[in-house]
Amino acid sequence: MRFFLILICIGASAFAQQLPVIPLPNQYVKLEGKFSLSSNTPIIVGDEAFRPQANYLQQEMLRSADLTLNLQNKSTAPAIIINRLKPDAGKAGSYQLLIKANEIRISSASEEGIFYAINSLMQLVRESALKGYPVLINSWDIRDQPQYAWRGLMLDESRQFFGKETVKFILDWMAFYKLNRFHWHLTDEPGWRIEIKKYPKLTLVGGIGDFTNRFSPAKYYTQDEIREIVAYARERFITVIPEIDMPGHAGASNRAYPEYSGGGSEKYPDFTFNPAKKETYDFLTDILKETNSLFPSDMVHLGGDEVHFGNENWNKDAHVQQLMKEKKMPDLKSVEHYFIQRMADSLAKMNNKVLLWDEAADSDLPPANTVIFWWRHDKPAQLKHALSKGYQVVLSPRLPLYFDFVQDSTHRVGRRWEGGFNTLERVYNFSPAKLHSAEQTRLVLGIQGALWTERIPQVNKLEYMLFPRISALAEASWTREQNKGYKGFEERLKAHMEIYRKDKIYFFNPFVPLENPEPRIAGAKDN
C-alpha cells in the first residue's frame, strides 16, 4: 500500500509539471522562476516583417486578458521580444518560446512560426489570468514544430447556414489550437451558399431552405463576405478551401438552373449534373472561375462522393447513353470518372489542385494535381488504393473524426455507425501511422475533422459537438505519437475548460457530463 501511494504522488507531480498547452509541444523543459506580465510589459519587435503578428498579440492580450501592451523598438527588461531565427531544416511553422523571469522571447524563421509561438504563449497567459492578477507565467523553454502540414476542420453550411460571425468564431479557435486548413462545404442539396455573379439564381433560388426547413429564406455569403472571411483566416495562417459539390449533391443548383440537371432517383430527385452536355461543363467552369478568384488557396474540393445515390436517370437519358456509346463506357461509374476528369482539367487550367472524396481514387487523375480525402472508415482498402496510385491524402474517417457523431453513450441527437460513436479519447488516439507504410508517409498530408450539420441546426449544438473535441483533433495532428498521452491531455484540458466557461462556450464536459446537458433541438431526429 505504501508503494502504491508513492506512485500516486509521483504521478500527480508529473502532471503538475506538464506544460499546460494544447497541442502539446514536441520539446519543452521547465525552468525556474515566473514572468510577471502586466500592461507595463512592452512588446519589442526585432523584425518589421513580424509587426502584424505583434499587433495580433496586442489584440489578444486586450481581448482575453484585459492587458494593454505597447509595441516598442528598443529593448527594455522585462519585455516580450519577437525576433527572427535563421532558416533551418525545421518544418514550416517551427518556433521557439523561451520564458524566463526577466523576458519572454518569441523566435522563428517565419511569420507562421511566430504566430504559433504567440498562441502557445496566449494559452499560458489565459490559464494564468484565470487565477487573478498579476498574471504570473511559469518559465519554460519550448522548441516546437507540427507533425503534419494539414491540420484541418470542415464545416458544412449547405445543410445549416450559420453566418460569418460563427465562422470567425471557429477560425479563432482553430488558430488557438494551431489548426490551419478550413474546408468550407458551401454547396449541396439543401442550399447553395456562395454568390456567383454570372448565375444569380444559384443563391436567390438555390439558397432557399436548409436541412430543417426547405422553405426558409435564402441564406448565402456574398463575395465581399467571402473575401472578408478569407482575409480573416489568412491573418491566422489558416487556408480556406471551398467545396463545390459535383457531379452529385447538385439539388440546390438544379433548382435554380434545371437545364443542367442530370436527374436523380426516386429518393434523390435532381441529384446530379448532366455529364453529357457541353453546356453543363461551361456552366460549372464559369462557377469555378469565380470561386478561384475568391479563394487564393489554389485548391477547390469538388466532392465526387455518393454519386450512385442519384445517377439512376443517366440510364434513361438519351444524351448520356449517346456519350457512353461514343466513348465506349461500360457503366455509369465510367461516366462519373469522365465527368470528374473534365472538371479536374478545368481546375488545372486555373492552376488549382483538385480535392476529392475517396470514391474519386478510382479515376485516372494525375497524382501531382490531386488530393484524396479518405472518409469511409469501413473501406481501408480505398485508402490503400489511393496511396498505391501516388495520390496525396488527407485522413478524415467518419470514425473517429466526424463531429456530427455523438460523443457519449447517453446522447441522443447525432449519428452512430453500427453503434460506434466518437468520444474525445477516440479522436485523441487516432493514429495515421497505423494506416499506411513508412514509405507512404510522404503522401499523407495530415488529418481533418468534419462537422456535418444535418442534426446541428443551432449554434449551441455546434459548440457542443465541437468542444472539446477540437482540442483532441489539434493534438492528434500536431504532436508526435511518442509525445502523446491521453491522461496528460485530460489534465491540460481541465484548464482549457475554464477558458471555455469564461468565453461562455456551451461545451460537453466528459468529466461531468451533466454540467451542460445535450441541447434540446425541436424536431430533430435521434441517432
Catalytic residues: 188, 249, 306
Q: What angle do CA 331, 374, 212 make, to 5 degrees?
A: 85
Report residue 487 as a C-alpha cell.
Answer: 491522461
Cα–Cα distance for residue pair 22/474, rounded to 1 Å: 7
Q: Which residues lie closer than 8 Å to 282 by C-beta, 6 or more apart?
A: none
3-state secondary structure of 118: helix
3-state secondary structure of 229: helix
Comparing CA positions, the residue from 400, 408, 405 lying closest to residue 518 is: 408
Q: Which residues lie closer than 8 Å to 281 by C-beta, 6 or more apart?
A: 342, 343, 346
Comparing CA positions, the residue from 9, 24, 12 lying closest to residue 489 is: 24
**Cis check: omega of the bond before 78, within 30 degrees of 0:** yes
Beta-ladder partners of 303: 246
Report residue 337 as a C-alpha cell.
Answer: 470518372
3-state secondary structure of 208: coil
Pairing label, strands 299-303, 239-246: parallel
Q: Which burial class, exposed, middle or buried, applies to 224 when counting CB atoms under 10 A from its CB (0-12, 13-18, 19+)?
A: exposed
> What is the 8-class DSSP label of residue 435?
G
- Whether residue 221 contacts residue 194, with contact meaning beta carbons closer than 8 Å, is answered with yes
Beta-ladder partners of 353: 299
Dihedral (CA of 116, 117, 118, 123) sign: positive
